[in-house]
């Protein structure tokens, strides 16, 4: 038994962007529970609850040691009544009953499966569930009309739900760099998202593309996409114009700049292993039956046949020389590059907290494009992330410590 006096107390800043959050998590039992409840809230379009649980989870992630007693949490910010109840449950019983019942619930399971399809969000999944669709099999037989993204998502479901490794991210990075070099010399590619924060896996790979000469990046995205497409690297792509002007999260900028910031949601066809070097991924992919069915094999019963067919499927899957990977490409003019890098490095909560800090504590508006000072009524230019943190009056937090 540990007495109250011996228990470590923590002092933690209330905004996640004031804290250093590495991938080292001493309280994963607690953060897993809170993150699951956050996810469940988000899947049910309860954004307020979602953020509350995310903030609580992020706070627990930032603690330097494992929490063993509720008394250690006294005075800590970001912990609401509900989160505290969940933490207490985990500390006392090893698990949270609310988390366990959520995991078991038919609705949560269905929401997870359906939103696991690229192109399907919480609203679509909810509509399908109300129509009695709980899994992929039921969806396939439902006669629902799927859009192009969803069709692609369903087709590559298993690949896209398999975490992307850093090695795969780097292999894709080389391809993107090659594409960018070929269409406009001097262009630069930066790996952003979770991999820039040092994560070893991710759900996708995020890249930011720019050119050191302002304006040269105009029209770059369609060229890069065409290069990748002509070489068979893309299973799916949709390029959207930047919606910056319409968005409420930042100051408006001149309409003439509007076409300068584009995003491409894509599904890459990544060749596995040695073949990665090849620029022609279209090559051979048929597995011959003879590779699996050897001549001495005898099939006597249905069960054996079934077994054999299962083995064949597994062999076929392991022989597949490519896999589908979600890749996001963003093009930014160099004048906005620092803001874009900061905005696309994440984590999502870290970004949200940066913007909240800027607005509530500094009377500034931060977006992935710019920082506007509402007091001075002017934009603050920056060429590095360090400068942006300085404008915001925050200590610089490197990417590896933004894992809130």
Positions annotated as catalytic residues are: 204, 206, 328
Residue 343 site contact among ligand DCP, Mg ion, none (CB < 5 to 8 Å, cut-off depends on kind): ligand DCP
Cβ of 282: how many Cβ atoms within 10 Å? 12
- Of residues 153, 202, 250, 281, which one binds Mg ion by CB under 5 A? 202
Smallest distance from the beta carbon of 192 to ligand DCP, in angstroms?
Answer: 6
Interface region with ligand DCP, contact rule CB under 6 A, candidates 4-12, 50-58, 274-282, 343-351: 343-351
What is 309-363 written as a DSSP string?
HHHHHHHHHHH--EEEEEEEEEE--GGGHHHHHHHHH--HHHHHHHHHHHHHHHS
Binding to ligand DCP by residue 351, rule CB under 6 A? yes
Tokens of 239: 């390029």
Closest CA to 104 of 36, 24, 183: 36
Number of residues this chain uses to bind ligand DCP (CB under 6 A): 14
Binding to Mg ion by residue 168, rule CB under 5 A? no
| Alpha-carbon gap, residue 28 to 295, rounded angstroms | 51
With a CB cutoff of 8 Å and minimum separation 6, the contacts of 337 are 208, 210, 383
Residues in the chain: 404
Smallest distance from the beta carbon of 194 to Mg ion, in angstroms?
Answer: 5
Per 3-state DSSP, what percentage of the chain is helix, strand, and coil (rounded to 5)? 50, 15, 40
| Alpha-carbon gap, residue 61 to 206, rounded angstroms | 24
159/204 with CB nearer Mg ion: 204
Interaction mask 179-198, ligand DCP, x per CB under 6 A = --------------xx----
Smallest distance from the beta carbon of 380 to ligand DCP, in angstroms?
Answer: 19
- Of residues 204, 217, 262, 385, which one binds ligand DCP by CB under 6 A? 204
Binding to ligand DCP by residue 156, rule CB under 6 A? no
Binding to Mg ion by residue 206, rule CB under 5 A? yes
Q: At which residue do the structure tokens 């105009």 appear?
A: 218
Residue 96 site contact among ligand DCP, Mg ion, none (CB < 5 to 8 Å, cut-off depends on kind): none
DSSP letter at 402? Answer: B
- Torsions phi, psi for 47 (to 5 deg): -65, -40
Smallest distance from the beta carbon of 37 to ligand DCP, in angstroms?
Answer: 18
| Alpha-carbon gap, residue 249 to 343, rounded angstroms | 12
Tokens of 253: 């900028």
Tokens of 400: 């590896």
Which stretches within 197-285 are classed as H helix?
220-230
21/72 with CB nearer ligand DCP: 21
Binding to ligand DCP by residue 250, rule CB under 6 A? no
- Of residues 204, 217, 353, 385, which one binds Mg ion by CB under 5 A? 204
Closest CA to 325 of 176, 137, 113, 147: 176
Residue 51 Cα to chain centre, angstroms: 16
Binding to Mg ion by residue 193, rule CB under 5 A? yes
133/205 with CB nearer Mg ion: 205
Residue 15 site contact among ligand DCP, Mg ion, none (CB < 5 to 8 Å, cut-off depends on kind): none
Secondary structure class of 115 (helix, strand, coil): helix
Number of residues this chain uses to bind Mg ion (CB under 5 A): 5
- Of residues 119, 173, 202, 281, which one binds ligand DCP by CB under 6 A? 202
199/323 with CB nearer ligand DCP: 199
Q: Site residues (CB under 5 A) for Mg ion?
A: 193-194, 202, 204, 206
Q: Binding residues for ligand DCP, per CB under 6 A?
A: 193-194, 199, 202-204, 206, 343-344, 346-348, 351, 368
């Amino acid at each position: 038994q540990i007495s109250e006096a011996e228990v470590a107390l923590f002092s933690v800043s209330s905004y996640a962007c004031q804290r250093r959050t590495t991938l080292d998590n001493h309280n994963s039992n607690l953060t897993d529970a809170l993150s699951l409840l956050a996810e469940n809230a988000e899947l049910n379009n309860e954004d307020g609850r979602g953020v509350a649980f995310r903030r609580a989870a992020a706070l627990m992630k930032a603690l330097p040691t494992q929490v063993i007693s509720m008394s250690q949490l006294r005075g800590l910010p970001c912990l609401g009544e509900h989160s505290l109840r969940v933490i207490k449950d985990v500390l006392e019983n090893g698990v949270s009953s609310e988390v366990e019942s959520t995991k078991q619930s038919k609705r949560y399971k269905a929401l997870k499966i359906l939103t696991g399809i690229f192109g399907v969000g919480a609203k679509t999944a909810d509509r399908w569930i109300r129509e009695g669709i709980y899994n992929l099999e039921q969806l396939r037989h439902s006669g629902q009309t799927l859009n192009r993204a969803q069709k692609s998502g369903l087709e590559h479901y298993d690949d896209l739900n398999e975490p992307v490794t850093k090695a795969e991210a780097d292999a894709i990075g080389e391809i993107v760099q090659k594409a960018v070099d070929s269409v406009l010399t001097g262009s630069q590619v930066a790996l952003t998202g979770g991999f820039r924060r040092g994560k070893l896996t991710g759900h996708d790979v995020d890249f930011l593309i720019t050119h050191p000469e302002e304006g040269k990046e105009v029209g770059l995205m369609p060229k890069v996409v065409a290069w990748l497409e002509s070489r068979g690297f893309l299973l799916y792509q949709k390029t959207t114009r930047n919606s910056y002007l319409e968005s409420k999260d930042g100051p408006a900028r001149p309409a003439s700049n509007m076409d300068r910031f584009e995003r491409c949601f894509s599904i890459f066809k990544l060749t596995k292993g040695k073949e990665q070097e090849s620029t022609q991924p279209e090559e051979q992919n048929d597995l011959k039956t003879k590779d699996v069915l050897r001549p001495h094999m005898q099939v006597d019963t249905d069960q054996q046949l079934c077994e054999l067919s299962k083995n064949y499927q597994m062999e076929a899957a392991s022989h597949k020389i490519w896999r589908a990977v979600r890749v996001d490409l963003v093009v930014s003019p160099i004048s906005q590059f620092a803001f874009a890098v900061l905005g696309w490095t994440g984590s999502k909560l870290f970004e949200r907290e940066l913007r909240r800090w800027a607005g509530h504590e500094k009377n500034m508006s931060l977006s992935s494009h710019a920082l506007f000072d509402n007091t001075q009524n002017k934009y603050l230019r920056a060429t590095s992330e360090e400068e942006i943190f300085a404008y915001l009056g925050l200590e610089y937090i490197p990417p590896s410590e933004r894992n809130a």
